[in-house]
Amino acid sequence: MSEKKQDIFKKAQEFEKKEEKAILNLTRSSKFKVAFILFILAAIAIGMTYWTIAQSRVYVEKAAVNAPVIALTSSTPGILDKVFVHEGDVVSENMIVAQVGDMPIRAKTSGVVINVLNTPGAVVTSQQAIVQMIDPLELRVVGQVEEDKGLRDIKLGQRVVFTADAYGSKQYSGVVDSISETAHQTDIVFSISDKRALQSYDVKVKYDINAYPELKNGMSAKLWIYK
């Protein structure tokens, strides 16, 4: 083979290699572009999913498991003679829990004792709670919802999923049982535009007490109320 032919053959090989490299780079670039586009589309899909879910429910961060406190008092002032119960005790209706002078103090209903004034010999008034108790059947998850944070979308009977801080991400189920008719002011927050205080309302969620015995009075919780 002459030198001229060899030179032509060499140049042809070099051109072929450059062409293969260009095709390979183009293929890699195309794959990267496709992968990037797929990533963007996936991100948009996930974002739309989260947005849709967020629009379908009301999130309530400030909530707690609570039951109305039943205060047992003496009908007249006197000296606290004896206390027969301790915190955590389960009492039955009409059971004697304490005695002031000659007057027995009886439980008004069955329930659990949550606080005791255990100071025999002390003078107590008719306004002073000697024993405080709750009825576990009245336990509810009570969330505070500000008037501009989805209150208008909350209705009785709506499904609720909630968590208790004590049990991490474990989810519980319930339904909206009541919505307070009157607002109560918590921390006063003023809008920059109109200087009006934001009001919050109590939303109570009923759940199966027997299914979730681990939920105790006073536990902090979070709610997701489905519209």
pLDDT digits (tens, 9 = 90+) for 38-71: 667 656 655 555 555 556 789 999 999 999 999 9
pLDDT recorded at residue 154: 95
Record the pTM: 0.69
* End-to-end C-alpha distance for the chain, whole angstroms: 85
CA distance 114 to 132: 6
pLDDT recorded at residue 73: 96
Q: Which residue has the higher pLDDT, 8 or 83?
A: 83
- In terms of residues, how long is the chain? 227
117-137 mean pLDDT: 94
**Average per-residue pLDDT in the chain?**
84
User: Taking the domains of the chain in order of start, what are their residue ranges?
Assistant: 1-55, 59-66+139-226, 70-136
CA distance 112 to 108: 12
Return the CATH class of domain 59-66+139-226: mainly beta
pLDDT digits (tens, 9 = 90+) for 103-121: 999 999 999 999 999 899 9
Q: Can you read off the two tokens belonging to residue 181?
A: 């008719």
pLDDT digits (tens, 9 = 90+) for 2-43: 555 556 556 556 656 666 666 666 566 666 666 666 667 656
CATH topology of domain 70-136: OB fold (Dihydrolipoamide Acetyltransferase, E2P) (2.40.50)
pLDDT recorded at residue 56: 74
